[in-house]
Structure 1
Amino acid sequence: MSGNVTALARRRGFARAGAFFKRLVTSSPSRFAIAVFAALILLFTGILSLPISSADRTITPLSDALFTAMSTICVTGLTTVDMATHWSAFGNVVIFLGVNIGAMGVLTLASLMGMVISKRLGLRAKLLAAGDTNPLRAHGGPVNESQTVRLGEVGQLLTTVALSTLIIEAAVALLLYPGLVMAGIDPFVALWEAPYYAAMSFTNTGFTPNAGGVTIFADDYFVLTVLMISVFLGSIGFPVIYTLARHTWHVKRWSLHTKLTLITTVLLFIAGAAVILVLEYDNMRTFGSMDAVDTTFQAFFLSSMTRSGGFNVIDMADLNGSSMLAVCMLMFVGGGSASTAGGIKVTTLAVLALAVWSEAKGRQSVEAFGRRIPSDVQRVALSVVAWGATIVAVSTIVIAQITKADIIDVLFDVISAFATVGLSSGLTGELPDSATYVLATTIFMGRVGTVTLAAAVAATSRSQLYSLPVERPIVG
């Protein structure tokens, strides 16, 4: 009798757990994504801690394993160990797989696997994937405004995610291989390093498998250009790649999201290079010893990498303080939404800039390219900026207090962590364990926090059948 009662209680427990899991998945895809992200980070921390993952077959300290796992799954690129010497072949393969999983997104990957297994994508799976690529899908009720990717196109978008990742990384690896060989890398070793660099550039991670990183390619414009193109394709986002694949030469049929992403990305790329060029042209530690062509090219390379790429030819600690601040601003913005890049995203900046412009012009609504941007999108953009600035400020204060380091170095690495860029002033590798955990938390919140906030803000959008009396506080 007691055995039957125990079995019944066990079944009820499993049923309750299943019901809770189902509610978690269907009611809040963003919360489900965070749970899976956290589980993956813990799993990879355990694997990277194993002796088989390190080159000297010793157990990697918990702080280093956790930070590397966080940086891998969140495609950040910051590291507390030497990536070229610390990890074994097994550890490097684990990191290679981790960055691709993290770049595509947990919910996208789960939906892809479900589509492959069942040969179809149900409504629940479409809603789950749509919430991963666009947090504004998270709120209940009908979606009146036009969406960048419609629900019926989610299956095609998932296919685009998988194919673009495979095709772009394969093409970049093929292009990089001869460049690596000509740079003096053993042809057999280059067979591994070429796809590694391809994955780290397209996912905007920035890990390098060789000592010295990309500095050995400092004079190789071809290799650096290929890396820049790969970083650009990864940073514009899968919805933009999907739109370009369908309407390559039909600009009028591009979505507003695609237009804003591409225009803002190009403007920031050019403006960033110009600012860096002006601030660093006479700095003998960086560009001062180069000729005009080298200086211009390296300025554009650094500008593209500050957007989330993470590769660097020059030492970031050698930049002028003014240049480091400018780079911090570029890193904070990051890349495109639903991309492998981090930051507050270029469309967030574009929406806020358009809102300010509309207010200055006295317009009642925010408009661009013949489309109206609804107020809930503006609210999400403002909330994401405020959330990001708060994370950066708190993390900077805590780490500065722990380390007593120069505030510009702390701010630089904190923003790089939040925006999942991977550039460092040299501080990250010297942090004590307590500060390492704070920076790892910053990486996690930068990768999933803004998406969660966007979904939470969107979820609060409800119709209101009454209006309260108006009173205007003094602003400014």
Structure 2
Amino acid sequence: MAGMPGVLTAVRNWVDHIARTSPARLALLVFAAIIVVVTALLSLPAATVSGERAPFVDALFTATSAVCVTGLVTVDTATYWSGFGQAVIAVGIQVGGLGVMTLASILGLAVSRRIGLTQRMLTASETKTARLGEVGSLIRAVVITSLTVEAALTLVLFPRFLSIVDGAPAAAWHALFMALSIFNNAGFVILEGGLTPYVGDWWLGLPIVVGTFVGAIGFPVILNVAARWRTPRRWSLHAKLTLATSALLTVGATLAIGAAEWTNPGTFGPLRLDEKILAALVHGTTPRSSGLATVDVGEMREATWFLGDALMFVGGGSASTAGGIKVTSLAVLVLAIVAEARGDRDIEAFGRRVGSSTVRLAVSVAFIGATLVGVSTLVLLMITDLHLDVILFEVISAFATCGLSTGITPDLPDAAKYVLVGLMYAGRTGTMTVAAALALRHRRRVIRMPNERPIIG
């Protein structure tokens, strides 16, 4: 024990060194450590209803899905896990939603009443905040927004669950768990039978839509809009691009999915008009983030699956609880294409110019994401006998931490489940975070090569 202080000092110095030299790499390590802890807790006999230890692959998959706020499952959350197991999943969802690095800064603030440089760097890496001075404000926005929205969702859902489950304690637990799952875009459900029996229930459907949208736009947007809500013209370009692109995607997806599934006997076909409208609204909102489904996704038409692939791959806002390449990446790429088609020298939006470094970053994020999806799809096609459409849907859902599923995940071989675990981890930590953790992002070069433009297209 005499050498313990020296060991702790060495570990602390190593952590500080990693935080200064590569905050992204430390973020990956801490995130992985949280997944290991949740996996260990779900491996306890008390975590299952049967009292037996869960297979390692199921415990790891569920832990990763919870911490990475995905929602894909290999076992039924409502019937397989005990109350203790569901509580562990709920804690994993909350930790993953807030962000491990943000949570570390919150704990540091509570203990020392201040945020150190190292903690600011860690939080800036997790929340994509460029100026370290904004981290304190962003943390307050994260805590206040999360607790406020989750409390509001819990209060709204509690009366409805009183009529669904037996007893006020059970209703309160279901309402709290559902609120955490909605706002953190986690996609977990502890109702037996899922949400399909409540496809036309506006009391459940509307909170899902609103909570999902708020959780998916990102904390920097919430902070910016809250600070300047009276003067939308002064909102940042990031906030304007995120809100505009998210709104367009939500409206477009609602109309497209509603049209594709309107007469499908396995999904929207048997529903009343108001139920169809609600189902279309829910499924137009959740594919980019929460993955909560009120109809059987496995019964949807292939055209809807393809549309879902695109929506999931795009995802939500930066530094939000959603995954994907993010809506700002899509917006920047579209703006770049429009500027090139017009022959404009600069890429402009809302009276602001988008720099070339932002375009390069958007291209990198999209390419890395597409590569991960493509390689993983190829691997799963090689180790399973399933068709491309369902494999691609499941792979993109894992990468985008969405959680929608055609129902094939529980029956996948263990090797395929481990592939999805890796995808969920990479998708939650961010494609550029993974890339930055493996290589230096900035290189100093004394000599610049001569400029020459190759032929494109």
TM-score, scaled relative to structure 1: 0.91
Give me the whole-angstrom Cα distance separating, in 1, the residues matched to 2:433 and 2:66.
20
- The correspondence for 2:173, drawn from 182, 192, 199, is 192
Q: Does 1:91 align with 2:85?
A: yes
Distance of aligned partners of 1:13 and 1:291 in 2 relative to their CA distance in 1, 3 Å threshold: closer
1:322/1:50 Cα in 2 relative to 1: closer, same or farther (>3 Å)? same
Any idea what the Cα deviations from partners look like across 1:360-387, whole Å, max 9, x if unmatched?
1111221111212111111111011111
1:235-246 matched pairs, under 5 angstroms:
235-246=216-227
8 Å CA contact retained: 1:383, 1:453: no
> Structure 1 CA distance, aligned partners of 2:166 and 2:377?
39
Q: What amino acid maps onto 1:320 in structure 2?
A: R
Q: 5+ residue gaps in structure 1?
A: 1-5, 138-149
Name the CA distance, whole Å, in 2 between partners of 1:351 and 1:153. 24
1:309 partner SS = coil
Q: How does 1:358-397 map to 2 (within 5 A)?
A: 358-397=339-378
Equivalent residue for 1:73, pick from 67, 70, 79: 67
Identity of aligned residues (%): 44
Q: Note the residue ranges of structure 2 that are not aligned, 5 or more in a row.
A: none
Shift of 1:78: 0.4
* Structure 2 equivalent of residue 27 of structure 1: 21
Residue 51 of structure 1 aligns with an amino acid whose one-letter code is P
- AA paired with 1:159? R
Check conservation: 2:426, 2:434, Cα contact below 8 A.
no
Per the alignment, do residues 248 and 307 of structure 1 end up closer, same or farther by CA in structure 2, a change over 3 Å counting?
same
Question: For residues 455 and 134 of structure 1, do their structure 2 counterparts lie closer, same or farther at Cα, with a shift above 3 Å needed?
Answer: farther
Residue identity in the other structure for 2:66 = T
Is contact 1:99–1:200 with CA below 8 Å preserved after alignment?
A: yes
The offset of 1:282, in angstroms, is 2.2
Report the alpha carbon displacement of residue 126 of structure 1 after superposing the two structures with TM: 2.0
- Asked if the contact 2:16/2:118 (under 8 Å) is kept, the reply is no
Give the 3 Å change call, closer, same or farther, for CA 53–457 of structure 1 in structure 2: closer
| CA distance in structure 1 between the partners assigned to 2:268 and 2:232 by the alignment | 38
- Give me the whole-angstrom Cα distance separating, in 2, the residues matched to 1:217 and 1:12: 58
1:62 maps to which residue?
Answer: 56
Partners of 1:64 and 1:16 lie apart in 2 by: 35
1:294 Cα deviation from its structure 2 partner: 2.6
Is this contact kept in 1: 2:25–2:438, CA < 8 A?
A: no
Alpha-carbon distance between aligned partners in 1 of 2:25 and 2:44, rounded to the nearest angstrom: 29
1:123 matched to 2:117? The reply is yes
SS state at 1:367 partner: strand
Amino acid at match of 2:241: L
Q: Judging changes above 3 Å, is the alpha-carbon distance between structure 1 residues 334 and 72 closer, same or farther for their aligned structure 2 residues?
A: same
1:293 to 246, 264, 274: 274
Matched AA of 1:261 = T
Structure 1 pair 19–449 and aligned structure 2 pair: CA distance change class (3 A): same
1:144 aligned partner: none
Partner Cα distance (1:376, 1:30) in 2: 19
Sort the Cα spacing of 1:335 and 1:458 in 2 relative to 1 into closer, same or farther, 3 A: farther
CA drift at 1:355 = 0.9
8 Å contact from structure 2 (residues 25, 437) kept in 1: no
The residue that corresponds to 1:340 in the other structure is 321
How far does the alpha carbon of each residue in 1:284-322 deviate from its partner, in whole angstroms, 9 at most, with x for none?
A: 211222343332321111011101111111111111111
**Aligned residue type for 2:173:** W
Q: 1:273 aligns with which of 233, 254, 262?
A: 254
* Counterpart Cα distance in 2 of 1:61 and 1:232: 35
Deviations 1:388-426 (A, max 9, x none): 111111111111221111211111111110000111000
Hey, what does 2:95 align to over in structure 1?
A: 101
**Aligned-residue offset at 1:183:** 3.8
Kept in 2, the 8 Å contact 1:44–1:69? The answer is yes
Moved more, 242-251 or 89-98: 242-251
DSSP 3-state at the match of 2:35: helix
- Cα distance in 2, alignment partners of residues 249 and 456 from structure 1: 40
Count, aligned residues: 457
Contact 1:183 1:216 (8 Å CA) reproduced:
no
SS at match of 2:105: helix
- Secondary structure in structure 2 of the residue aligned to 1:279: helix
CA RMSD across the alignment:
2.1
Q: Deviations over 1:100-156 (max 9, x none)?
A: 001111111101111111111233322221122117x4xxxxxxxxxxxx4322111
Contact 2:381 2:388 in 1 (8 A): yes
1:175 matched to 2:156: yes
Aligned to 1:206: 187
Q: Which amino acid aligns with 1:313?
A: T
2:225–2:235: 8 Å Cα contact kept in structure 1?
Answer: yes
Q: Residue 461 of structure 1: CA displacement?
A: 4.2
Match of 2:334 in 1: 353
